[in-house]
Amino acid sequence: MTDKDKLVMKAIALCFKPFLKPEEAYIYTNLEHSQFAKRCEAFGIFKTAGGYYKKQDLDDMMIGGSSRITEKAKNLKV
């Protein structure tokens, strides 16, 4: 098995994991650390207590959906 084969297998495995480590999240979203941190802050995405990111939250962020902060602001009644 070549290094390229191993890389492809790891990339495919990322698609099926429900929670991702920070390094895996950077690869999954194709963002650098600072860009990733800014996007997560804007979308209200935080690490779990175990230090992982929920993949579903990252999917929502990457498809350009509305952020949790925006959604909660819409739901507030003044």
Domain count, the chain: 1
Phi-psi region of 77 (alpha: psi -120 to 50; beta: other; left: phi over 0): beta
Residue 52: pLDDT band (50, 70, 90) is very high
| CA distance linking residue 23 with residue 47, whole number of Å | 12
Query: What pLDDT sits at residue 14?
Result: 80
pLDDT in tens, 7-36: 788 788 888 899 999 999 998 898 999 999
Query: What pLDDT sits at residue 8?
Result: 82
Helix residue ranges, H only, the chain: 3-16, 22-29, 33-43, 55-62, 68-75
Stated as kind and residue range, the H or E segment containing 53 is: strand 53-54
Range of the domain at 57: 3-75
pLDDT in tens, 53-76: 999 889 989 988 767 767 777 777
